[in-house]
């Protein structure tokens, strides 16, 4: 097939143009006589394309037609031997990788800044996580990359580890030396799995490194919707080499992915692949140029700086992720995010204690950057005279928690009887849930880990400063679930 072809979209167009009388799911029958609020918002056209796995449209779980052709084209573009389209987001792809590489009781080496969905895969598989703590930037309060020597030291101490997972790039765009990490991991004849959810654009511009598979990884998951032009939840999983059990991986994907496949998501993946293949250099060049312009504009605001490659511990940096240090403004990033949204109608990707994060893509404009810089400058001026600036006072020790003791495997904790206790009374207990600030979704405490006084202090402080939590039963974090 020619690379510019989009097989799934072609199949959809053929089906829609045939004006088939639909006696199959979904119930809206192509949007006929819908007349409800979603129809008024989106119009009928999107419903015409919302079909299911009828014979002419192929089957994601056993592809042989349009989906298979689209996945083959994607594999060529992203340098994979096999590519799988994901309609349940990057999360299900990461979980499938854990299930495909780890049996119950097997150890998997993972960074502490994993997305909580990977912990879900660990619970499902019964694997035992061996955590390592990546380097941290103390001023920004964010995790950096994965050093090859750190992986080597852990594998030397625990040679029974069955797989290694790394995050590259990080949410903040920090890129590790994956080529060197892969060489270390492959010395032990085990697979290197890469959460590359924030890097589907790697390899399409000279300011960016090659992607994980091009650098020797055995598997990588792309959140295609995060950076490229796919619809939300549209992602891809790419594999290569003999260390990945393809049959086991496909079985895991069939378990985790919906059988009611969304062809809106599949067609958007098909289109995103074709677009980045034909226009990737030009599109990423635009995004990088806008990000450079944003850094220049933000440098003109007193008290504001942006993350750059000249900081220790950064191998390379994805320039399209702009991390803004707001520590000197005297208020938490959470508070600033809310102010920008309420007063200026601007929504950032993420706020943390001392920073804001902007994800800049080729769909942004210079006008977007100008509006943001002006709003942040105005907010900064107002904040310097704000009597509430004292709420930012939080000691550095709360940003760098030591790894808690694992009292039992996460799967055992998940299936154990639990009770709910006030957060302030939970120290010394064993957590029954994952608690993560979201975004970025990095676990602060995992099921099976002992809750320390430092953890309680950190969680209470983040709660009081307005952080948003996910994974826990009580998102207000007044109470936490612990093993009974």
* b (16+ CB within 10 A) / e for 254-288: eebbeeebbbbbbbbbbbbbbbbbeebeebbbbbb
Question: Which residue do the tokens 């979980």 mark?
Answer: 95
Whether 397 has a pLDDT exceeding 90, the answer reads no
Q: Are 470 and 436 in contact (CB under 8 A)?
A: yes
Residue 55 pLDDT grade (very low, low, confident, very high; cuts 50, 70, 90)? confident
Question: What tokens appear for 221 in the block?
Answer: 């998951």
pLDDT at 389: 43
Question: Can you tell me the distance from the alpha carbon of 169 to that of 197, in angstroms, rounded to the nearest whole number?
Answer: 8
Report the alpha-carbon distance of residue 276 to residue 104 in Å, rounded.
Answer: 39
4-19 pLDDT tens trace: 899 999 999 999 999 9
* Structure token pair of residue 396: 């550095």
- How many other C-beta atoms can be found within 10 angstroms of the C-beta atom of residue 338? 13
Nearest to 207 by CA among 121, 101, 269, 295: 295
Confidence of residue 33 (pLDDT cuts 50, 70, 90): confident
Q: Determine the 3-state secondary structure of 59 from DSSP.
A: coil
At 443 the pLDDT is: 87
Residue 284, pLDDT above cutoff 60: yes
CA–CA gap between residue 368 and residue 290 (Å, rounded): 9
With beta carbons less than 8 A apart as the criterion, state whether 444 and 455 touch: yes
Q: Are 296 and 304 in contact (CB under 8 A)?
A: no
- DSSP 8-state symbol, 434: -
Per-residue pLDDT tens over the stretch 414-435 = 999 999 999 999 999 999 999 9
- Residue pLDDT, tens place only, 242-277: 999 999 999 999 999 999 999 999 999 999 999 999
Tally helices (H) and strands (E) across the chain: 15, 20
Q: Got the DSSP string for 166-214?
A: EESS-TT-EE--HHHHHHHHHTTT--EEEE-TT-TTTTSSTTS---TTT
| Euclidean distance between CA atoms 136 and 144, whole angstroms | 5
Mean pLDDT of 55-76: 95
Say if CB 196 and CB 221 are below 8 A apart: yes
Looking up tokens 């035992």, which residue turns up?
128
Place 294 in a pLDDT band, splitting at 50, 70 and 90.
very high
Mean residue pLDDT across the chain: 92
Instruction: Return d(Cα 470, Cα 476) in angstroms, integer.
Output: 10
Bridge-based pairing of strands 350-351 and 305-306 is unpaired
Q: For the residues 117-131, what does the mean pLDDT come to?
A: 96
More confident residue, 190 or 439: 190
Residue 22 DSSP label: -
CB 205 within 8 A of CB 288: yes
Distances in Å between the Cα of 269 and the Cα atoms of 74, 112, 237, 378 are 9, 30, 12, 39
Residue 47 pLDDT grade (very low, low, confident, very high; cuts 50, 70, 90): very high
Burial grade of 460 (CB within 10 A; 0-12, 13-18, 19 or more): middle
Tokens of 85: 């389209």
In the β-sheet with 469-470, what is the strand arrangement from edge to edge?
442-445, 435-437, 469-470
pLDDT of residue 399: 59
* Three-state secondary structure call for residue 10: helix
Q: Is the pLDDT of residue 385 over 60?
A: no
Q: What's residue 390's pLDDT?
A: 44
Which pLDDT belongs to residue 466?
78
Counting Cα atoms < 13 Å in the Cβ hemisphere of 335 gives 22
* Range name among 91-95, 254-258, 397-401 with the lowest pLDDT average: 397-401
Q: Is the pLDDT of residue 388 over 70?
A: no
79: left (phi over 0), alpha (psi -120 to 50) or beta: left
- Going along the chain from its start, the domains and CATH numbers come out as 282-392 (3.90.1150.10), 396-483 (3.90.100.10)
Task: Indicate the pLDDT class of residue 395, thresholds 50, 70 and 90.
Answer: very low
Question: Do the Cβ atoms of 410 and 110 come closer than 8 Å?
Answer: no
| Burial class of residue 434, CB neighbours in 10 A (0-12, 13-18, 19+) | buried
* C-alpha torsion angle, residues 123, 126, 132, 134 (rounded to 10): -40
pLDDT at 170 over 60: yes
Q: Higher confidence at residue 469 or residue 104?
A: 104
């Amino acid at each position: 097939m020619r690379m510019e072809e989009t097989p799934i979209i072609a199949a959809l167009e053929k089906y829609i143009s045939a004006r088939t009388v639909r006696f199959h799911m979904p119930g809206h029958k192509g949007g006929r006589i819908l007349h409800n609020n979603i129809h008024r918002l989106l119009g009928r056209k999107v419903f015409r394309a919302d079909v299911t796995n009828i014979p002419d449209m192929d089957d994601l779980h056993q592809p042989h037609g349009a989906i298979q052709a689209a996945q083959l084209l994607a594999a060529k573009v992203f340098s994979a031997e096999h590519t799988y389209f994901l309609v349940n987001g990057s999360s299900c792809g990461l979980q499938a990788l854990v299930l495909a590489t780890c049996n119950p009781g097997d150890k998997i080496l993972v960074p502490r800044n994993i997305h909580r969905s990977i912990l879900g895969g660990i619970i499902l598989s019964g694997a035992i996580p061996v955590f390592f703590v990546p380097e941290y930037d103390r001023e920004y309060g964010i995790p950096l990359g994965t050093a090859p020597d750190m992986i080597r030291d852990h594998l030397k101490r625990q040679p029974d580890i069955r797989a290694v997972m790394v995050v590259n790039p990080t949410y903040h765009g920090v890129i590790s030396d994956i080529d060197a990490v892969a060489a270390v991991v492959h010395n032990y004849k085990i697979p290197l799995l890469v959460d590359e959810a924030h890097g589907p654009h790697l390899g399409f511009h000279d300011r960016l490194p090659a992607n994980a598979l091009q650098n020797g990884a055995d598997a990588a998951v792309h959140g295609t919707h995060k950076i490229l032009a796919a619809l939300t939840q549209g992602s891809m999983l790419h594999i290569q080499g003999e260390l990945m059990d393809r049959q086991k991986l496909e079985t895991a994907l069939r378990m985790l992915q919906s059988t009611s496949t969304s062809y809106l998501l599949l067609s958007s993946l098909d289109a995103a692949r074709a677009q980045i293949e034909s226009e990737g250099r030009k599109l990423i060049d635009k995004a990088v140029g806008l990000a450079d312009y944003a850094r220049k504009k933000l440098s003109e605001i007193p008290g504001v700086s942006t993350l750059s490659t000249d900081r220790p511990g950064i191998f390379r940096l994805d320039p399209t992720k702009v991390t803004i240090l707001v520590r000197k403004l005297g208020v938490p990033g959470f508070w600033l995010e809310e102010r920008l949204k309420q007063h200026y109608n601007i929504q950032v990707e993420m706020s943390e204690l001392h920073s804001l994060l902007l994800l800049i893509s080729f769909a942004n404009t210079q006008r977007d950057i100008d509006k943001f810089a002006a709003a942040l400058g105005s907010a900064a001026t107002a904040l310097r005279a704000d009597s509430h600036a004292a709420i930012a006072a939080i000691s550095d020790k709360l940003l760098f928690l030591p790894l808690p003791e694992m009292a039992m495997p996460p799967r055992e904790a998940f299936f154990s009887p639990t009770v709910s206790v006030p957060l302030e009374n939970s120290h010394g207990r064993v957590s029954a849930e994952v608690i993560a600030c979201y975004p970025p979704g990095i676990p602060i405490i995992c099921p099976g880990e002992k809750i320390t006084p430092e953890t309680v202090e950190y969680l209470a402080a983040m709660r009081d400063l307005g952080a948003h939590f996910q994974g826990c039963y009580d998102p207000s974090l007044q109470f936490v679930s612990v093993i009974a």
